Structure 1
Amino acid sequence: MSKKLFLLDAMALIYRAYYALIRSPRITTKGKNTNAQFGFTNTLFDLINKEKPTHLAVCFDTHAPTERHIDFTDYKANRQEAPEDLLASIPDIQRIIRGFNIPCVELDGYEADDVIGTLAWQAADAGYEVYMVTPDKDYGQLLIHPNVFIYKPPYMGSKEEILDAQKVCEKWDIARVEQVVDILGLMGDAVDNIPGIPGVGEKTAAKLLKEFDNLENVLANADSIKGALGEKVRNGRESAIISKKLATIITNVPVQFHEEDYMLKAWNNQELIDSFTELEFKTLGKRILGDSFNAFQTAPAGVQTDLFGNAVEPKGTAKDEESLVAAGSGFNADKNINNTPHAYHLLDTAEKIQAFVNKAIEQTEVCFDTETTGLDANEAELVGMSFSYTPAEAYYIPCPANREETLAVLQLVKPLFDAPSITWIGQNLKFDLLMLKWYNMELKGNLYDTMLAHYVVEPEGRRSMDLLSAQYLGYEPVHIEELIGKKGKQQGNMRDVPVEKITDYAAEDADITLQLKHALHPQLKSKEVERVFYEVENPLVKVLTAMEFEGVKVDTDFLKEYSKQLEIEAKQFEENVYTAAGVRFNLSSPRQLGEVLFDKLKLDPKAKKTKTGQYATGEDVLLKLAANNPIVDDILGYRELTKLKSTYVDALPEMINSKTGRVHTSYAQAVAVTGRLSSNNPNLQNIPIRTDRGREIRKAFIPRDSDHTLISADYSQIELRVIAAISGDPNMCEAFKQGRDIHTATAAKVYGIADEEVTKEQRYKAKSVNFGIIYGQGAFGLADNLGISRTEAKEIIDNYKKEFSGITRYMDDMINFAKEHGYVQTLMGRKRWLRDINSSNFTVRGFAERNAINSPIQGTAADMVKMAMIRIQAVMEKEKLRSRMILQVHDELVFDAHKDELDMLKPLILENMQQALLLPNEVPVVAELGSGFNWLEAH
């Protein structure tokens, strides 16, 4: 086997890993951002696993100045400060590297690329294949040695890429890799603040090198270069010389490649266990260390803990239970069922069940959990139920496989379920309520969902019971895999597990969830999120349960015919593309499409390539080409139709429930940080409505029978009404009060004309500003979006800010509030925590600032529609209506309405939507309503 050395450019990979997850950061239960640690570890492990290096090292920069800084004081001076979370990740990453028994190499006075370059050439001379793992383009100059390569690891869905000298030359359009430093000397490098020759870009630099071979010859022949370019070269002589020196990687650093130091060795498993436990790499830890790894296994030595895993005082002192539980113990979970006192009872006779019900019905709160045969509540069967009302004590009632026998068991428990005075505690209670509904049972009392309590306390991050238990109780529950194997509840069979084992597992779930309630409850008060929990999230659980249970009827005959139609139309688009291209190819292959569009048809001489080296052919790229190239419309048409067909038209019939003949979407209540609901199977939020073909899919959603019709009720421009109300901007508030079209009113103000003079184009531009400015869109983004000049875009934005100064003031106020308090909030008190709002890194800080501006708007709109759902459902149940609320999509509610109830139902819906959450500054909330035989017709 050949000897392969991999040299990793640590900081380049750390930056890359950090920013890859910036929009959905990984935050531990202690509030630590682990984007960089997680991404770097994944890259390192995948590289070891897949590429099988024999030798490996990770090279770091140091804080000491280098010769480049001495030669050019502005070297890397324009780089923004590294994000604080990224800097904090470096010790963790170095610890992980040590755990893998891999050397970290660094040397004061030199950068990592100098160290890598030196080691690479030494190892290559010794007969090694050397792979420099980095996304940095400068490394191409080192490929002079035939045994040295650049290895770009997979990133954001792209595959890994290995570059040799030929590929580097093709990328730069140069003849020899030695010219990489010449091209950098000419064009500079903005990332490292290497100036180059002002006004000389990559293509011009490559052209000069084709003629003069190297930078020195370019400068020597500057007088023969005509026109403005010659002037630039002559004026930039000194800048070019220093730039080439700055870009040249040093290959005689005083480091030595001793192969025994870089050989891969056995890992230091304890170091990795400690690191992964602290960083909460539960799944990644198992992937690397095997199933024996337990992310909860390390506990502080010598600390005495109580039932909840919290530190306790020595005998003779005391703390009240609430403060103990509220304090939490962090992620280290050394408590489990085997070393913690508990009393879990199996109730397997009618007498035992009756005795339990008689006692439990006297309680004010009872924790409840179901065990089932699967994760889809609409398809699964009950295996058993667990209950707890005292910490460390719980009860399990098994349910027979025979449905009639299970119904008999449930009748014994029904008096408890029907008790209105009991508050039912659970983790993701919607699932348990839905299971009961399939057995004609419900919980009559109030609910307290620990998953939702954690959601309003900490909207970001994960909230599985295992994680919450570890964080707040220092306790590791039994894992389902321990009962039914690796594949878990979805594919395993709980009925095959001995009842004694299920008793421990199920009773523990109820017990731990009860304890979680005690731990989380004080945080609702301390973080001032009680109102949104009790008035919005908790009561919504029963509403969503009812909606998911009802489902919606789907017209399969329509879908079958529409699928055929889409296939015919897509085929026509495909043939049009082949005719225009003059060649047949795989239209679904982005690589082949890019080659046809940009190599063969030359549609864009400045076409950009992705990190994998292929042309970018995304929708945004194609739309810019569409005006002058008819082939692009056919490509976009083909893509739209094939996606509609596969994602919705052909998929929806497969989702029909065999028991009901209806589609039952599942709503996720605790995912979106803004408070919005999301859905899956099917994902209703993504059903396209902007194109005629996409809207057509809504025809497939129909009433249950001829006695019903569909009603669609939609909030009108709710987010703009919310920002007007919160900001108090007089012009925008007045426009809404007068019932004017807000985009026309905005255009009239921006252009200084009357409403009736506003053109369609001006209204469209105003609409783009209305929606764009609160999401941080500037002149560049607006110009790109509207296809106008940056000058015109800037003028529109400047006029907007002048006429709607209250909006600008709101944006500034929200950012300042967040900087002072660390969060922003909706009108209902839903909080969005912004831990990066004071970051010195402007990219990270800017992302937090945009969230500070738009989260109160999106969140308030989300709260409003949820409160409307709660109000409408309550009235429908009180009036015992036969109509049902069946769908929620963005700001829209859909009802399967009985025709006899339409006269009552329509005003009921409108009134409750418009009164659900009154806005300040007397800004009216308006909802619009339609009805029809299908969803499209109703909308």
Structure 2
Amino acid sequence: MSAKKHLYLVDGSAYIFRAYHRLPPLTDPQGTPVGAVYGYTTMLWKLADDLHKADGPTHLAVILDKSSRSFRNDLYDLYKANRPEPPEDLVPQFPLIRDATRAFSLPCIEEENVEADDMIASYARAATRKGWDVTIVSSDKDLMQLIGQCAEDELEPGVTEGGCIDMLDTMKNARIGREEVIEKFGVPPELVGDVLALMGDSVDNIPGIFGVGPKTASKLIDEHGSLTAALDSAEGMKASKLKERLIEHRADAELSRVLVTLKEDCPLPIALDEMKLDGVPPEPLAAFLEKHGFTSLLRRLGAGTGSPERTTNLDPQKAVNKGAEASSEGNRQPPPEWPAIDRSLYECVQSREALDRWIARAFAARLVAVDTETSALDAMQAELVGVSLATGPGEACYIPLAHGGTDMFAERPQQVDRAEALEALKPLLASDAVLKVFQNGKYDLNVLARYGVAVAPIDDTMIISFALDAGRSLDGIGGGHGMDELSERHLGHTPIPFKELCGTGKKAIPFGEVPLDKATAYAAEDAEVTWRLCKLLKPRLAVEGGTRVYERVDRPLVPVVAQMERHGIKVDHSRLARLSEEFATETAKLEAQIHQLAGEEFTIGSPKQLGDILFDKLGHKGGRKGKSGQYSTDQAVLERLSGDGAQIADRVLEWRQLTKLRSTYTEALQAAINPHTGRVHTSYSLVGAQTGRLSSTDPNLQNIPIRTPIGRQIREAFVPEEGNVLLAADYSQIELRLAAHMADVPELKEAFAHGEDIHSRTAKEMYGTVDRDTRAKAKTINFAILYGISRWGLAGRLGVEPDEAQAVIDTYFKRFPGIQSYIHETLESVRERGYSETLFGRKTWFPRIKAPNQAERQGSERAAINAPIQGTSADIIKRAMVRMMPALEQAGLGHVKMLLQVHDELVFELPEGDVATASPIIERVMATAAEPSVKLSVPLGIEIGTGMSWDAAH
């Protein structure tokens, strides 16, 4: 008896749009847009490769939508009426995508008046009746109606057991079966259509019942067992909005149920047996790849006609710029001829002899990728469980150091003693002759440092990726710089997910309890992937102009930031506790005042209840309801009401600020104090902000309000150790200074050169007089225009009409024409090249700068105007951080600790007696940080203060 057949049905339409948003615009040698075609081809290739390695299909077909109309439009003429037309440059790619599918010698199925989902359903049902299993390659919620269902009747003659249906979500590399559908929808697959009918779908314009969301829909269907029963139950419900809506919109729900029902009896244009996989003949695929210039894929196929060194003819920017060759190099580098990753080649190092052998191999290789496995995410408290090394493709190992159960009587596998292993590794990790490569190395450096192990020199693939591709991608595929994303994007390989080993939630186990064979496969793979990424990405730095910012700014910063995190900062626990109590008391008072003003008690934190009070009961004007049916009560709305004299809005704003500060800082900071050090150790992300700024998390110390009395009270809780003081060194108006230099504005440069107050100078230029009011307006204008603000945005900031705001902008540009030229030239450059650039060469990509959607386009334009300025500011303070400790050590002040970097400020801790000596050194390093790479035409002003708290240092 032959093995059971397994049909894979690929939702090709979903692949197309994922592919379109995956890469920048690309053109082939004929000038035809092919970005989506290239992305689609690589995704299909990866799917085929993955399935070939796994328990793959015996049969496979790709299903596409033929047109935008279907029989559902005849039932409901507004069906999918909200969907925009496909992007102009995508339309000519649709036929090429069909060509790509056929080039793989795969069936490409599409039918008029029938959607791809219906064809998938029809083929799936037909296949299960033949006894075949079916996997739908998609993440479409509509198709989840089919999951977990097995054919039991109407089987074809001779078939004794029907097949079953599941789903493969390639975005998450996850299998979806019946249990996963129940977890997502709260009901089994056969009732998913009922849930969808109640909740509707704004994308497909399926009406559903207004106000009924996924949770309510799921609960109703789960309780009553069907849509009809749920609708029938409305008559017996207590009076409520839900009851009214179920009764009033019953017909909409019943229509929606018809619209979401998949058609399972479509004629099948290609017989199932014709979908049999017999391999991919190379000739048609090679011809297709050659025609469209996909040379890197040709190399993978082994059928290219060019020389091995030749790169693809793709030019990602040709559609918008024929001369921006460097910007496309990131998509033009073909991967080296490496063998596929084979986890069976990895070695688990359980003896000192084996460890010494790997150390010798790493010394000989001169480059080794290193990764640590630990017991927790917090680098300041995590226990080191193991170390992995990789020296080349298929050459990787895992060195377990603390595996075994947490119970003292648990059996522990054979492994090298941790202290002995680290002592053996120290010379390798500290050797100048061997480059150590990490992915997010800051974490590993901190873990190893706590065990007395220093590491240098290093490379970091996460930082390399950021230097090359910050902001480049449009979605999760390659949009971030995590190892899994980089591996998917650049290597076409999906690493083992961490949760596959350790689980999630209450059933999760620590990594030290993972069996060694599985731990070795996971950990050594991470090291090998890191090695491959370094070899693939680092050569791009020279080609794309990223070497300067990586080598002079980013790479040397990694150990500096790691050391800052280890230092941490002392926080007065008792002061925070008192503040928290004070905030709680004040919050209670505000709640009472708000309830009195409202005339009733209600949940202030509920946007719905607050909106009903403000606009329905109290009758304030300007309330707007969103798609959810409730009023917006965001910050802007409350500030507008406050400006109109609504006292309740003032109180709610105060209440929100206090509750946020209490939960985010006074309570959270107490919990964040490390029990071993008594200090708070924030974690800095070196790739968290697109422009290159550092971002702070766990806890976030960068969002504490600076100028409010409450924010200052929180900063008072940050204190030095006994005998020390805190020193805060802040760049004064650095972004305005950089704008004066980069836009070449003589008036502003002159003002800075003479130490004038820049806002007063702007007020004088704009209004002819300087007083408190004109200076405040000038300050708002100075910063707002640098952020590309619109007339409406400035009108809101200044409290004037849009026409008056436009007149202000016009006057500003007239007085400072250099600013207007800078904005115009920056936008033209970004539209042409696809990216902005700082004075140090840091690129920030803006793939939506020419988006047809106005909001997306204008958002990108505003960000693009400011990115070179803000990014240059970030580069300068990073350079200052890198140079700071060597300068202090040279002066005999190596005991001074650099603790925090917050916006344009650095915070230090030092003995009070060293302030006079350290201050001029800190000021000099910060003031000259741009040199010699960049010589600024304006001085960088530094303000330094000291005190017994962070607040007092300002």
Q: Same fold (TM over 0.5)?
A: yes
How far does residue 811 in structure 1 lie from its aligned partner after superposition?
Answer: 0.6
1:888 aligns with 2:892: no
Cross-structure match for 1:507: 524
Cross-structure match for 2:485: 467
> Structure 1 residue aligned with 2:792, among 780, 790, 795?
780
SS in structure 2 at match of 1:922: coil
Cross-structure match for 1:902: 915
Cross-structure match for 1:564: 581
Using the alignment, how far apart are the partners of 2:260 and 2:416 within structure 1? 70
Cα pair distance change 1:318/1:821, threshold 3 Å: closer
**Once the two structures are superposed, what CA deviation does each residue of 1:336-362 show, in whole Å capped at 9, x if it has no partner?**
425xxx743333222333343344334
How far does residue 97 in structure 1 lie from its aligned partner after superposition?
Answer: 6.2
Amino acid paired to 1:933: M
Cα pair distance change 1:499/1:887, threshold 3 Å: same
**Retained in 2: the 8 A contact 1:386–1:396?**
yes
Cα pair distance change 1:85/1:315, threshold 3 Å: closer
1:744 aligns with 2:749: no
Cross-structure match for 1:709: 725
Cα pair distance change 1:534/1:321, threshold 3 Å: farther
SS in structure 1 at match of 2:946: strand
Using the alignment, how far apart are the partners of 1:770 and 1:136 within structure 2? 41
Cross-structure match for 2:300: 311
Listed as ranges, the gaps of 5+ residues in structure 1 are: 1-12, 38-56, 67-75, 105-126, 141-147, 171-176, 179-248, 250-255, 272-296
Cross-structure match for 1:789: 801
Cα pair distance change 1:151/1:894, threshold 3 Å: same
**Retained in 2: the 8 A contact 1:367–1:388?**
yes
How far does residue 874 in structure 1 lie from its aligned partner after superposition?
Answer: 2.8
**Once the two structures are superposed, what CA deviation does each residue of 1:889-936 show, in whole Å capped at 9, x if it has no partner?**
111111122223222221121111111115655111111111111111
> Structure 2 residue aligned with 1:476, among 468, 481, 494?
494
Q: How does 1:437-836 map to 2 (within 5 A)?
A: 437-443=449-455, 445-460=456-471, 461-486=479-504, 491-604=508-621, 606-627=622-643, 628-703=645-720, 705-751=721-767, 753=768, 757-836=769-848
Cα pair distance change 1:821/1:318, threshold 3 Å: closer
**Retained in 2: the 8 A contact 1:459–1:832?**
yes
How far does residue 838 in structure 1 lie from its aligned partner after superposition?
Answer: 3.8
Q: How does 1:202-221 map to 2 (within 5 A)?
A: none
**Retained in 2: the 8 A contact 1:329–1:472?**
no
Cα pair distance change 1:424/1:570, threshold 3 Å: same
How far does residue 152 in structure 1 lie from its aligned partner after superposition?
Answer: 7.9
**Once the two structures are superposed, what CA deviation does each residue of 1:199-248 show, in whole Å capped at 9, x if it has no partner?**
xxxxxxxxxxxxxxxxxxxxxxxxxxxxxxxxxxxxxxxxxxxxxxxxxx
**Once the two structures are superposed, what CA deviation does each residue of 1:584-640 show, in whole Å capped at 9, x if it has no partner?**
222222222222222222232x32223222222222111122242223222221221
> Structure 1 residue aligned with 2:420, among 402, 408, 413?
408
Using the alignment, how far apart are the partners of 2:647 and 2:199 within structure 1? 44
How far does residue 318 in structure 1 lie from its aligned partner after superposition?
Answer: 8.0
Cα pair distance change 1:388/1:308, threshold 3 Å: farther
Using the alignment, how far apart are the partners of 2:678 and 2:84 within structure 1? 58
Identity %: 36
Using the alignment, how far apart are the partners of 2:84 and 2:304 within structure 1? 54
How far does residue 484 in structure 1 lie from its aligned partner after superposition?
Answer: 2.9
How far does residue 578 in structure 1 lie from its aligned partner after superposition?
Answer: 2.0
Amino acid paired to 1:913: M
TM-score by length of 2: 0.68
Amino acid paired to 1:458: D
Q: How does 1:231-250 map to 2 (within 5 A)?
A: none
Cα pair distance change 1:149/1:760, threshold 3 Å: same
SS in structure 1 at match of 2:679: coil
Using the alignment, how far apart are the partners of 1:346 and 1:26 within structure 2? 40
Cross-structure match for 1:855: 867
Cα pair distance change 1:128/1:328, threshold 3 Å: closer
**Retained in 2: the 8 A contact 1:82–1:840?**
no
Cα pair distance change 1:570/1:266, threshold 3 Å: farther
Query: Which has the higher mean CA deviation after the structures are superposed, 466-475 or 367-376?
Result: 466-475
SS in structure 2 at match of 1:670: coil
SS in structure 2 at match of 1:766: helix
Cross-structure match for 2:116: 98
Using the alignment, how far apart are the partners of 2:256 and 2:587 within structure 1? 59
Query: Which has the higher mean CA deviation after the structures are superposed, 901-910 or 450-459?
Result: 901-910
Using the alignment, how far apart are the partners of 1:585 and 1:613 within structure 2? 19
Using the alignment, how far apart are the partners of 1:427 and 1:528 within structure 2? 21
Using the alignment, how far apart are the partners of 2:36 and 2:379 within structure 1? 34
Using the alignment, how far apart are the partners of 1:568 and 1:326 within structure 2? 58
RMSD: 5.1
**Retained in 2: the 8 A contact 1:309–1:475?**
no
**Retained in 2: the 8 A contact 1:325–1:473?**
no
Amino acid paired to 2:419: L
Amino acid paired to 1:383: V
1:337 aligns with 2:342: yes
Cross-structure match for 1:435: 447
**Retained in 2: the 8 A contact 1:328–1:471?**
no
Using the alignment, how far apart are the partners of 2:457 and 2:36 within structure 1? 36
Listed as ranges, the gaps of 5+ residues in structure 2 are: 1-12, 27-34, 41-63, 74-80, 99-108, 123-193, 221-226, 235-240, 242-247, 271-276, 287-295, 313-328, 409-414, 472-478
How far does residue 262 in structure 1 lie from its aligned partner after superposition?
Answer: 4.3
Cα pair distance change 1:741/1:785, threshold 3 Å: same
**Once the two structures are superposed, what CA deviation does each residue of 1:402-448 show, in whole Å capped at 9, x if it has no partner?**
999422221111111221232211111111111101101111x3211
How far does residue 814 in structure 1 lie from its aligned partner after superposition?
Answer: 0.9
Cα pair distance change 1:319/1:59, threshold 3 Å: closer
SS in structure 2 at match of 1:938: coil
**Retained in 1: the 8 A contact 2:762–2:778?**
yes
SS in structure 2 at match of 1:397: strand
**Retained in 2: the 8 A contact 1:33–1:85?**
no
How far does residue 849 in structure 1 lie from its aligned partner after superposition?
Answer: 2.5
Using the alignment, how far apart are the partners of 2:330 and 2:652 within structure 1? 59
Cross-structure match for 1:419: 431
Cross-structure match for 1:219: none
SS in structure 2 at match of 1:854: helix
How far does residue 785 in structure 1 lie from its aligned partner after superposition?
Answer: 1.4
Using the alignment, how far apart are the partners of 1:398 and 1:499 within structure 2? 8
**Retained in 2: the 8 A contact 1:728–1:921?**
no
Using the alignment, how far apart are the partners of 2:258 and 2:579 within structure 1? 65
Cα pair distance change 1:741/1:414, threshold 3 Å: same
Q: How does 1:212-291 map to 2 (within 5 A)?
A: 262-263=261-262
**Retained in 1: the 8 A contact 2:197–2:260?**
no
Using the alignment, how far apart are the partners of 1:259 and 1:649 within structure 2? 53
Amino acid paired to 2:944: L
TM-score by length of 1: 0.69
Amino acid paired to 2:705: P
Cα pair distance change 1:267/1:363, threshold 3 Å: farther
Using the alignment, how far apart are the partners of 1:301 and 1:672 within structure 2? 45
SS in structure 2 at match of 1:387: strand
SS in structure 2 at match of 1:361: helix
**Retained in 1: the 8 A contact 2:371–2:387?**
yes
Cα pair distance change 1:607/1:26, threshold 3 Å: same
Cα pair distance change 1:393/1:596, threshold 3 Å: same
Q: How does 1:20-419 map to 2 (within 5 A)?
A: 27=22, 83-84=87-88, 98-99=116-117, 101=119, 133=200, 135=202, 149=209, 262-263=261-262, 311=300, 313=302, 319=308, 335-337=340-342, 343-400=345-402, 405-419=417-431
**Retained in 1: the 8 A contact 2:121–2:264?**
no
1:923 aligns with 2:938: yes
Amino acid paired to 1:474: G
